[in-house]
Amino acid sequence: MEVDERLTATDEKLELNNGAKWKADSTTNNNVNNLKLILKKFDKASDKSLSAYKMAQRDLQEGIDKMIAECKMEGPNHLALHKWLEPLMGQVTELKTAGTVPGADKILNAINGQMSPLYPIF
């Protein structure tokens, strides 16, 4: 299989696939939508305590774990998914170690940016 040079490990940023978004299968899309729902639920909640951020982190981690366990994608789209998912995984891990509400909020904002519909994966 020929590997798209845009997806090598040395790339730092996921780019569009020749001007189009990368494709994901329905299972992956469902799991991404679940992550988006977790973020939406947190955003609408009135509790913004550090423990609430930690609960959101736990839910996000469980969602990521489920996505990984159910992943059946292959090829360039799968590699693009990894380029999107790996930074998200790092951000979710970082949220777990946040020690202040402002610190947790900053990390959650980065997570929201990674989940943005403008991001070139979905």
- For residue range 86-118, what is the model confidence (pLDDT) as tens digits? 999 999 999 999 999 999 999 999 999 988 865
**Domain assignment of residue 15, yes or no:** no
Q: Which domain holds residue 63?
A: 21-114
**Domain assignment of residue 47, yes or no:** yes
pTM of the model: 0.83
**Domain assignment of residue 57, yes or no:** yes
In the chain, how many domains are there?
1
**Domain assignment of residue 83, yes or no:** yes
- For residue range 34-56, what is the model confidence (pLDDT) as tens digits? 999 999 999 999 999 999 999 99
Say if residue 71's pLDDT is above 50.
yes
66-69: long-range contacts, CB 8 A cutoff, minimum separation 24: 66/31, 66/34, 67/28, 67/31, 67/32, 67/35
* CA within 13 Å, CB half, 9: 0
**Domain assignment of residue 13, yes or no:** no
**Domain assignment of residue 64, yes or no:** yes
**Domain assignment of residue 73, yes or no:** yes
**Domain assignment of residue 14, yes or no:** no
